[in-house]
Amino acid sequence: MGAQFSQFFPPHPTFTPKDVPHLSGKVVLITGAASGIGFELAKMLYRKGAKVYIAGRSEANAQAEYIRYSKHEDCESSGLEM
């Protein structure tokens, strides 16, 4: 019964943007940041002052997310071949 309850009513998150200190001067590389949790994490760290590099399997998806985000924030884009 308890497991079913926690699936429908998950607990409050223990990690929030308020818990992250200012990150100016820090460099962060996030893989899987073209969508989902990785993209949200990239936005949060960027707003905290970090220089954020995102990597994703699809260059088209990463570029689309960059365009969507850069409308609201000052950021730049470049490619990376692996």
CA distances from 48 to 18, 22, 27 (A): 10, 5, 11
Please report the pLDDT score of residue 31 as a whole number.
Answer: 84
Please report the pLDDT score of residue 43 as a whole number.
Answer: 85
Number of domains in the chain: 1
Please report the pLDDT score of residue 15 as a whole number.
Answer: 78
Please report the pLDDT score of residue 27 as a whole number.
Answer: 92
Does residue 69 fall inside a structural domain? yes
Range of the structural domain that residue 37 is part of: 22-74
pTM of the complete model: 0.66
Does residue 6 fall inside a structural domain? no
Does residue 70 fall inside a structural domain? yes
DSSP SS3 for 13: coil
Count Cα atoms within 13 angstroms, Cβ side, for 81.
0
Helix (H) or strand (E) holding 62: helix 59-70
Does residue 15 fall inside a structural domain? no
CA distances from 70 to 28, 46, 62 (A): 18, 12, 12
Q: Over its length of 82 residues, how does the chain's per-residue pLDDT go in tens digits? A: 566 777 788 778 787 888 889 999 999 988 887 778 888 888 889 889 998 888 777 777 777 777 776 666 666 666 666 6
